[in-house]
Amino acid sequence: MATEKIQIFDTTLRDGEQVPGCKLNKEQKLIIASRLDELGVDVIEAGFPISSPGDFEAVDAISQIVTHATVCGLTRANIKDIECAVRALEKAIKPRIHTGIGTSENHMKHKFNCSEQQIIDRAAEAVAFAKRYVDDVEFYAEDAGRSDNAFLAKVCEEVIKAGATVLNIPDTTGYCLPEEYGKKINYLKEHVSGIENAILSCHCHNDLGLATANSIAGIQNGARQIECTINGIGERAGNTSMEEVVMIMKQHPYLNFHTDINTRMLTEMSRLVSDSMGMIVQPNKAIVGSNAFAHSSGIHQDGVIKNRETYEIIDPQEVGVNESSIVLTARSGRSALAYRFKNIGFEVTKLELDELYIRFLDVADRKKEVNNEDLHGIMQQFQYQQQSKAI
């Protein structure tokens, strides 16, 4: 059965770069953009051109080097922002303007002090204005996660009439539960006339740790684009993590979705973004954390040595990691020790292993992790004592 394509919209250079301390210079942004293009993302949100001259320059420069992906610039729903984004995107092969406004009661009252009708008018005017310059206009309904569905549907209908090709439904505050977010997408699919002319997009934040689950619920209910970042970086607790949603689709083929991402580049992309931004990836981060394919308890190690799939659902090579690692700690068993000795060139008998294991535990109880150097030390001492006994 043919699977449906989910567009991957990367916002590492926009929502991701908004994180305090994650500022990138133009050269770093260009390197990341060109690697994202090779990775196979469909859209690169390159920045928010009116926010600073540096961001304008970066969007302009990225527009000139990206050859496959659509290059997108963020704006608020006003003429000045849109004109600025149009200039920054002038040289892009496939430009997209991403404009929008808040649609929740909270945003309408406290941010804009506007009536519902004024919000609808501003949204439709912004889209129509952007449409004069580019064919591809994405509209975001900020705080859609907490917006009333019937009102959201009205806004969506009007911006489609004004020419929006993509409707971004952000859970800006990361508030929704997966079922709730999925139902929201489904509601829009069923109640917005003209929805067949637009793509619904998920843009989820991770305040409750649900960004990935919500994005998956979104595509299961009709969305066809996911907005995400490498390593899940982004405002506050971050955005949907690209590596997670891409691998979920790959590991669950019955969902019938695919992306164009070359998953073998995911680990190097993660390292590039982490090193460029100076933002450490937590070791237990799904897919790209340093422990994602590391096994340390004896029971797990024994299973993985016998057959990798006993404790791994992803072949590490699929995400660009050479092999799983067997980490030696005081919780490790004999089979892990024999395996690691073999890796450094020592085949040991069962009797030798019993003796070596006692020595290993002695070191492991004093150290967090036993490395190859320690193993050589243990082996040397063992061999020396065996020779002394023989004399």
Q: Which residue ranges make up the site for ligand KIV (CB under 6 A)?
A: 15, 140, 142, 168, 170, 172, 203, 205
Which of ligand KIV, Zn ion, none has residue 142 at its interface (CB below 5 to 8 Å by kind)? Answer: ligand KIV
Which range of residues in 8-16, 20-28, 116-124, 359-367 is near Zn ion by CB under 5 A?
Answer: 8-16
Which of Zn ion, ligand KIV, none has residue 168 at its interface (CB below 5 to 8 Å by kind)? Answer: ligand KIV
In angstroms, what is the minimal distance from the CB of 177 to Zn ion? Answer: 18
* Closer CB to ligand KIV, 95 or 316, in the complex: 95
* Closer CB to ligand KIV, 99 or 259, in the complex: 99
* Closer CB to ligand KIV, 70 or 168, in the complex: 168
Closest to 205 measured CA to CA, from 182, 231, 237, 178: 237
Q: Report residue 322 as tokens.
A: 């050479």
Task: Please state, in angstroms and rounded to a whole number, the distance separating the CA atoms of residues 165 and 136.
Answer: 6
* Closer CB to Zn ion, 223 or 319, in the complex: 223
Q: Which residues of 83-111 are buried (b: 16+ CB within 10 A; e: fewer)?
A: bbbbbbbebbebbbbbbbbbbbeebbeee
The H or E element containing residue 138 is strand 136-142
Which of Zn ion, ligand KIV, none has residue 138 at its interface (CB below 5 to 8 Å by kind)? Answer: none
In angstroms, what is the minimal distance from the CB of 83 to ligand KIV? Answer: 18
Helix residue ranges, H only, the chain: 26-39, 53-65, 79-88, 105-106, 116-131, 149-162, 178-191, 211-220, 242-251, 266-277, 298-306, 334-343, 350-366, 372-390
Task: Please state, in angstroms and rounded to a whole number, the distance separating the CA atoms of residues 286 and 300.
Answer: 18
Which of ligand KIV, Zn ion, none has residue 94 at its interface (CB below 5 to 8 Å by kind)? Answer: none
* Closer CB to ligand KIV, 10 or 142, in the complex: 142
Helix and strand numbers (H, E) in the chain are 14, 12
Which of Zn ion, ligand KIV, none has residue 157 at its interface (CB below 5 to 8 Å by kind)? Answer: none
* Closer CB to ligand KIV, 153 or 348, in the complex: 153
3-state secondary structure of 220: helix
Residues 13-42, one symbol each (x = binds Zn ion by CB under 5 A, - = not), give --x---------------------------
Closest to 169 measured CA to CA, from 147, 150, 191: 147
Q: Which residues bind Zn ion (CB under 5 A)?
A: 15
